[in-house]
Amino acid sequence: MKLVEKSRTPSLLQTLQLIAQPTKFLEDCATKYGDTFTVRVLGLKSPPVVFFSHPQAISDCFAVPAHKLDFKKATYVFKPLFGENSIVLQEARSHYRQRQLLLPAFHGDRMKSYGKIICQITEECTKSWTENSSYSIHKVMSDITLQIILQVVFGISPGVRYQQLQEKLSSLLENVTKPWYSSLFFVPWLQQDLGTWSPWGNYLKKREQIDKLIYAEIYERRLQNDVTRTDILSLLMSAHDENGEQMTDEELRDQLVSLLLLGYETTSGVLAWAFYLIHSHLEVKNQLMQELSSLDDYTPEAISQLPYLTAVCQETLRIYPIALICTPRMVKDSVEIMGSKFEPGTVLVPSIYLAHRRAETYPEPEKFQPERFLNQKFSPYEYLPFGGGYRGCIGAAFSMYEMKLVLATILSQFQLALTDNRPVHPVRRGITIVPRGGVQMVVTEKAKVKS
């Protein structure tokens, strides 16, 4: 196994490269060192961080028993964002308990009740669009996904608190997705509260304001005790674990914030990529529009079953996955991955981005070819846009459902075109990568497909 020598590239420089240009950093390392390489990018103590992209290595990573790994130490950068009760930071039985409480809200018939809301929000956010007017698709997708989270996840109806949360969350999310601001979470000694004028003090103040609104909503919801509600917060409040216990207010708050941060910029970013890729590949656009036009039953469930639309979403997520990496995991007891032994203190990171760009798995990996997913089924170690194993994203099915409905709703009502045909390059925002420039598009015609 080849290693990146610390003496060649200082830890701080590697950290800055990963923060500023993560895709280039990963690609350069993979080109130079192969499927497995070691870097040091987690602050001053800088444990060795090993990235994997070979399917067998990823399979081995997912198979390592939880008791041999420390997830909390490997994900400490998320604690100020998500809260210490977040499922992302939990281990062993605590993680299993929270996963069992959360999963039912994202599967089965629950999904059907969310479909109409997703379509309605999308229509509402685009109802003012006019022909020959241009829009930043990424900005519109951000508005749509935030409102979906507020209504479907938080279960808050438009009103005073809804407006306050929307404004404060938008402001906070805009900050934490900036590379220089998000650097605060990677470097603990920068986390100094010097008042609201300081970056960290400003973050803590905004977080406190948002928390007050969330706890007020939880308090009112507990008083109402409305068992007919189907939003995710209500489902989580009524859920019981195997011991009959429910989530505390603090647990609810941390899960809501985690779902928000993991589902907001990620989904809006991949939707922006989808609009760009569809409209920069005429044959893909034509085939997709033909499929949408041929649909008789224009319901959320029928839309979600469309094979080519599904393949378009899958291929978009292959090229620009929601996250670049799976959940990092620190070794507690020695483990073996694809014939190599890793000692305690090593951080293991399956790389989604690099796995999706292996030419051995995906011929001409840079090309956007939805047909890949019509002609072949990939293993969960070759295609893993939402991670995998027992730490895979609980909202994966919901995210795919949301993506398909938003795309179909807009494409069925508007004919769009890119305002600039030059290639769009990725730029980091928070934990994901988005199209630089926001993907500017113009409405050339309305009501393209009858809905």
Residue 158 maps to which CATH number?
1.10.630.10
Q: What is the pLDDT of residue 2?
A: 43
Q: Taking 60 as the threshold, does the pLDDT of residue 248 lie above it?
A: yes
Residue 451 lies in a domain: no
Q: Hey, is 282 helix, strand or coil?
A: helix
Residue 85 lies in a domain: yes
Residue 350 lies in a domain: yes
CB atoms within 10 A of CB 72: 17
Q: Taking 90 as the threshold, does the pLDDT of residue 177 lie above it?
A: no
Residue 5 lies in a domain: no
When comparing pLDDT for 196 and 345, which is higher? 345
**98-148 pLDDT, tens digit each:** 888 888 888 777 788 899 999 999 999 999 999 999 999 999 999 999 999
Residue 308 is encoded by which pair of tokens?
């080519």
**How many whole angstroms separate alpha carbon 99 and alpha carbon 218?**
20
The per-residue pLDDT of the chain, averaged, comes to 88
Q: What is the pLDDT of residue 7?
A: 33
Q: What is the pLDDT of residue 111?
A: 80
CA nearest neighbour of 92 among 117, 114, 71, 120:
71
Q: What is the pLDDT of residue 56?
A: 97
Q: What is the pLDDT of residue 450?
A: 57
Q: What is the pLDDT of residue 5?
A: 37
Q: Taking 80 as the threshold, does the pLDDT of residue 13 lie above it?
A: no
Q: What is the pLDDT of residue 112?
A: 80
Highest mean pLDDT: which of 15-29, 85-99, 270-284? 270-284
Residue 275 lies in a domain: yes
Alpha helices of 36-91 — where are they, by DSSP H? 55-63, 71-74, 79-82
When comparing pLDDT for 194 and 451, which is higher? 194
When comparing pLDDT for 91 and 16, which is higher? 91
**How many whole angstroms separate alpha carbon 428 and alpha carbon 19?**
8
Lowest model confidence (mean pLDDT) among 23-32, 185-194, 441-450: 185-194
Residue 99 lies in a domain: yes
When comparing pLDDT for 77 and 49, which is higher? 49
When comparing pLDDT for 431 and 134, which is higher? 134
Residue 102, H or E segment: helix 92-102
Q: What is the pLDDT of residue 95?
A: 82
- Which residues on neighbouring strands pair with residue 432, listed in sequence order? 429
CA nearest neighbour of 270 among 317, 309, 312, 315:
317
Total count of residues recorded for the chain: 451
Residue 237 lies in a domain: yes
Q: Taking 70 as the threshold, does the pLDDT of residue 449 lie above it?
A: no
Burial of 448 (0-12, 13-18, 19+ CB in 10 A): middle
Total tally of structural domains belonging to the chain: 1
When comparing pLDDT for 379 and 33, which is higher? 379
What φ, ψ does residue 53 adopt, rounded to 5°? -135, -10
Q: Hey, is 418 helix, strand or coil?
A: strand
Q: What is the pLDDT of residue 12?
A: 66
Q: What is the pLDDT of residue 376?
A: 93
Q: Taking 80 as the threshold, does the pLDDT of residue 32 lie above it?
A: yes
**366-417 pLDDT, tens digit each:** 999 999 999 899 999 999 999 998 888 888 889 999 999 999 999 999 999 9
Q: What is the pLDDT of residue 369?
A: 98
Parent domain of 354: 11-446
Q: What is the pLDDT of residue 6?
A: 39
When comparing pLDDT for 339 and 7, which is higher? 339
Q: What is the pLDDT of residue 313?
A: 98
Alpha helices of 280-358 — where are they, by DSSP H? 282-293, 300-304, 307-319, 352-355
pLDDT-based confidence at 228, cuts 50/70/90?
Answer: confident
**266-296 pLDDT, tens digit each:** 899 999 999 999 999 999 999 999 999 999 8
